[in-house]
Each structure stands twice: as C-alpha cells, then as structure tokens.
Structure 1
Amino acid sequence: MSKNIIFSILWMAVLFFIAWPIAIFCSWFWIVLQPFEACFGFVKPINDLLEKLLTWPRELGQAVMECKESFPNPF
C-alpha cells in the first residue's frame, strides 16, 4: 500500500485544531476527578472517557507518521 501524504496533512490539521484543544480541556477535569475515582464508583467511567480523549493526540501522531488512511478514532 502506498503512503498518501494527504491523509498525513489531514490528520495533522485534526491534531492541531481539534484533538489538542479537546485534550487540554479534558485534562483539567481528569486531574480533578482522578483522586475521587477510588471513593466514588461513578467517577471511573468518566475518567476512562477522559483518558481516551487525553490520549487521542498520540493516536493522531502515529497516524500522521504512518500516513494511515483510516481515521484515528478516540473511542
């Protein structure tokens, strides 16, 4: 399969304009809720969702480097 630079540029734009702002926004809530995960059971699913959104830029970075054609979905 040949590498397509268009997908790399597209994923880079998604990384800069969507993934990083979402990750920065979610990081504050994740940090605040992290200590309460052991105390309250309902916080764990919220933290799991926030953690997926926090690691989405890493997935996009890998897609940029590998010129993947499939969208690096955070979920």
Structure 2
Amino acid sequence: MRNRNSNEEKNLRKILKEKRLELNMTQRDLGELLNTPHTFINKYEVGERYLTFTEVINICKNLQIDVHSLLDDVMEKSSKE
C-alpha cells in the first residue's frame, strides 16, 4: 500500500507546487492546461490524492520540468531526510 506521507510523496508534491508557483501559475491555470478541475491540483498538492505516472509526466510537461531531473530531485531530497 502506498503511503501519501512518505518522504518521496511529500517531496514530489513540494517540488511540483514550488515549480508551479515559480511560474506564477495558479492551481486553476494548471488545471486548465491539464484539462482537469483546479481541485485536482489542490488535492495532489495537499496529499489527498495520488498521482499516476502519466499524470506526473503531463504535469511536468506543463510546468517545463524534465521528468528525469524531477525524479533525481525527489530521490536526493528524500535521502537527506
């Protein structure tokens, strides 16, 4: 069973949210780009919802994040905790 509060899950959510904010993008803006309600963005950012790998890829494309770099960053931050 997956743990929404694992270091990896928390760091993934944190990195994606930080990048969204860095781009001055609201949850609504990102939701529109992804063709999803803004509540989808809110739920994964606060840990109420898991992301599938496909969803992570689509979010990365819209936030201009390289998926490989994202995974490296998540693992690096998680190993330090």
Q: Is the pair's TM-score, using the shorter chain for normalization, greater than 0.5? A: no
For this structure pair, what is the TM-score category when the shorter chain's length is used for normalisation?
A: 0.3 to 0.5
| Structure ranking higher in helix proportion | 1
State the structure with bigger RCO (CA 8 A, min sep 6), 1 or 2: 1
- Per the normalisation by structure 1, the TM-score is 0.36
| TM-score of the two chains, using structure 2 as the length reference | 0.34
Larger radius of gyration: 1
